[in-house]
Amino acid sequence: MNPLKVLIVFDKPIPVLKYGGIQRIVWWLGKELTRQGHKVTFLVGEGSHCPFAEVKIYDPEEPLEKQIPEDIDVIHSYIPVMEPLKKPYLVHMESNTKKQEYDINTVFVSRNHAERHHAVCYVHNGLDPDDYGKPDFKKKNYLHFLGKAAWRVKNVKGAIEVAQKSNWRLHVIGGSRVNFHMGFRFTIDPRMRFHGMIGGERKNKVMNASSGLLFPVVWNEPFGIAITESMYFGCPVFATPYGSIPEIVDHESGFLTADKAELIKHLKDRPEYNARQIHERVMEYFSVKQMTESFLKLYERVMNGEQLNPAMPYFEKDSEPKFLPFG
């Protein structure tokens, strides 16, 4: 493929300083496209800067069409496209927003994510190994939880209970010991260590020494970067089988169940996993290189006038319960 001029549209600032899942995907994609010889322009939130690509500031008060440079070949948007665009484009859908209808060129982040929106087009998220360094496959005697603990769907309470009943120490990344959001929670147990919303080397250090990710979410996880970055460090994943998780975690890289007692028993048995093999699974299937190559194929399709889904994706209201079972 000849070098492309790609406009990446996102309404938040980049780079992200702490966790920021979507921001990191946006950054990694632009960086890898540039590495492969393509020219990237970011149209992103105020306060953004980037050493490898041109940055333009997105104005939410102006139509998107007016903010697109003339020489762009294709647009990769992380925000909804609300008006007709002259340039070929796709919309990258990262979350569970539960809108009623989506653009026909919407790309979801897992097969399950697409199917739940009556669509077929998806690309798994890929991480950039440069952000993580060398994994240490010698593990310590604790598990970690990674996610926004204030979101009840992430189920940090369930993770804490499972860790306590299976006699594991737990490091919680993304939450605090006292929480007032979406229901009061106060965790006394000193075996449960809370790190708050940390990123970069501090977060990597906790994951790199962990014996596994405890991730009993109670919603359909669209993708879950927390899963792949934990697996990058060789951590097996102990989770519920919801959303994209079975696409990422095979039987050699973790244990999936919605039965709390079954998960506790599995962890009590101190199962052995091959940390190096788990790491290699991420490098083979869930790296930024694989993600970018998949998107380049989709760019070619929309530039040829193809539609990425056979019909407009849509989400059926009330088709999913607010919280999926874990008990």
Number of neighbouring beta carbons within 10 Å of residue 224:
27
One-letter amino acid at 228 equals T
Domains of the chain: 5-127+288-303 (3.40.50.2000), 130-284 (3.40.50.2000)
Q: What is the pLDDT of residues 283-320, one digit of tens each?
A: 999 999 999 999 999 999 999 999 999 999 999 988 88
Whole-number pLDDT of residue 180: 46
Q: Which residue, among 132, 139, 191, has the nearest Cα to 163 in the 3D structure?
A: 191
Cis ω before 15 (30° cut-off from 0):
yes
Which whole number is the average pLDDT over 184-205? 81
Whole-number pLDDT of residue 186: 57
User: In the chain, what's the furthest Cα-to-Cα distance?
Assistant: 61
Q: What is the pLDDT of residues 55-94, one digit of tens each?
A: 999 999 999 999 999 999 999 999 999 999 999 999 999 9
Give yes or no for residue 121 having a pLDDT over 60.
yes
96 alpha carbon, distance to own chain's centre:
12
pLDDT band at 19 (very low <50, low <70, confident <90, very high): low
pTM of the model: 0.94
In angstroms, rounded to a whole number, what is the distance separating the alpha carbons of residues 216 and 143?
13
In angstroms, rounded to a whole number, what is the distance separating the alpha carbons of residues 284 and 302?
26
Give yes or no for residue 182 having a pLDDT over 50.
no
Q: Which 3-state string (H, E, C) describes the chain?
A: CCCCEEEEECCCCCCCCCCCHHHHHHHHHHHHHHHCCCEEEEEECCCCCCCCCEEEECCCCCCHHHHCCCCCCEEEECCCCCCCCCCCEEEECCCCCCCCECCCCEEECCHHHHHCCCCCCECCCCECHHHCCCCCCCCCCEEEEECCCCCHHHCHHHHHHHHHHCCCEEEEECCCCEECCCCCEECCCCCEEEEECCCHHHHHHHHHHCCCEEECCCCCCCCCHHHHHHHHCCCCEEECCCCCHHHHCCCCCEEECCCHHHHHHHHHCCCCCCHHHHHHHHHHHCEHHHHHHHHHHHHHHHHCCCCCCCCCCECCCCCCCCCCCCC
